[in-house]
Amino acid sequence: MSYTNGLDKPSDYFETKLYTGNGGTQSITGLDFQPDWVWLKQRNTTRSHWLFDSVRGATKRLHSEATSAEATDTSTLTSFNSNGFSLGSSTGINQSSGTYASWNWKAGTSFTNDASATGIGSIDSTGSVNTDAGFSIISYTGTGSAATVAHGLGVAPAMIIIKNRSTTNGWEVYHQSIGNTKYLALNVTDAALASASRWNNTSPTSTVFTVNTENGVNKSGSNLIAYCFAEKQGYSKFGSYTGNGNADGAFVYTGFKPAYVMIKLTSGAGEDWKIYDDKRLGYNAANKSLAANTNVADSNSNISIDILSSGFKNRNTSGALNSSGATYIFMAFASNPFVTSTGVPATAR
């Protein structure tokens, strides 16, 4: 199948890349872009998630399952390259014979906002933005008081993931489906919880997102990083669904064949942030999962989904994905649009 440039070719903006560690140094290649956010996870053993981005800089790591502050490790991801990234010898990301998944997003355009000069937001922000793909990485310094931060997307973000880089705070998540009065935490299994101290009960706008007094989003003097996502038709979707408790589970329409899906129960606690992609071994209905909030290895248990040409379908009754009457949120990125700009329909695998 051929594509025109732009969002008809989602692999210009997001792609999963698998690799095997060599215990030394190596460059992982084969992406169609230079990544700005790289999320790594060893698949064959218990090991942390490792998150790097070009705004904070290579070698500066965070862990999605942990509250730990940012640390610098020169043996980890050492550079972002034109078609991939380079690795050092750290066992966390390059153990000899270890098998790894990497999830890669492109931002790419430098962003700076002087709030006092532009009148946009009340906190200065810098980062990297891709308005075509609806993704920005935004760095800012907390004030400890309610404030607004420019995100550069030009449309309101549908999902925002924030980490305080300076202190041991959790990962704070805004999602449009749970609204501005609640939040989720990426590093734990909690339900969506009510709190005005995260978003000040205020939804993001086309120019800014709002943070309140919570240390995880706005501690005075702390350095914070925000990953902001806006929906783009045929490329990304940030929605919700209700489980039906049936092995012939709820079908969730995204408008594209997913390359990546992350799902979280919001109406109850105790369930993981399940991650699926179209590159790891396992096929409908046995797609392997990882979990953003745990360091466990790949699993191909019955907690599975079908990846289809226009969305995904649950094939289980687990609380993590499809409990009857339960509410779930998801984030998804495309492998193929359902119909490309040339009118060619995508096909399920």
* Rounded-to-integer distance, Cα 203 and Cα 174, Å: 9
Residue 68, both tokens: 């730990």
Task: Indicate whether 342 pLDDT > 50.
Answer: no
Q: What is the pLDDT of residue 300?
A: 67
Residue 248 has pLDDT above 90, yes or no: no
DSSP string, 192-247: PEE-HHHHTT----SSEEEE-S-HHHH-TT-EEEEEEE--BTTTEEEEEEE--SSS
Give 12-32 pLDDT, tens digit per residue: 999 999 999 999 999 999 999
CA-based max dimension of the chain = 56
The full DSSP string for 245-266 is SSSS--EEE-SEEEEEEEEEE-
> Does the pLDDT at position 299 exceed 70?
yes
**Phi, psi (degrees; rounded to nearest 5) at 12:** -75, -10
Distance CA 341, CA 244 (A): 34
Closest CA to 121 of 151, 142, 160: 151
Q: Is the pLDDT assigned to residue 259 strictly greater than 90?
A: yes
**Whole-angstrom distance, CA of residue 120 vs CA of residue 257:** 36
* Type of residue at 293: N
Helix H or strand E segment including 117: helix 115-118
* pLDDT recorded at residue 225: 98
- Cα 72 to Cα 19: distance, rounded to the nearest angstrom: 23
Residue 59, pLDDT > 70, answer yes
Given a contact cutoff of 8 angstroms between Cβ atoms, the answer to whether 113 and 154 are in contact is no
pLDDT digits (tens, 9 = 90+) for 165-174: 999 999 999 9
- Residue type, position 23, single letter: G
**pLDDT value at 7 more than 90:** no
CA distance 344 to 331: 25
- The confidence band for 155, taking pLDDT boundaries of 50, 70 and 90, is very high
How far is Cα 147 from Cα 212, in angstroms, rounded to an integer? Answer: 6
Confidence of residue 336 (pLDDT cuts 50, 70, 90): confident
CA distances from 30 to 21, 118, 261, 282 (A): 16, 39, 21, 22
Nearest-angstrom CA–CA distance, 281 and 43: 11
Model confidence pLDDT, tens digit, residues 178-237: 999 999 999 999 999 999 999 999 999 999 999 999 999 999 999 999 999 999 999 999
Task: Give yes or no for a contact between 293 and 188, defined as CB atoms under 8 angstroms apart.
Answer: yes
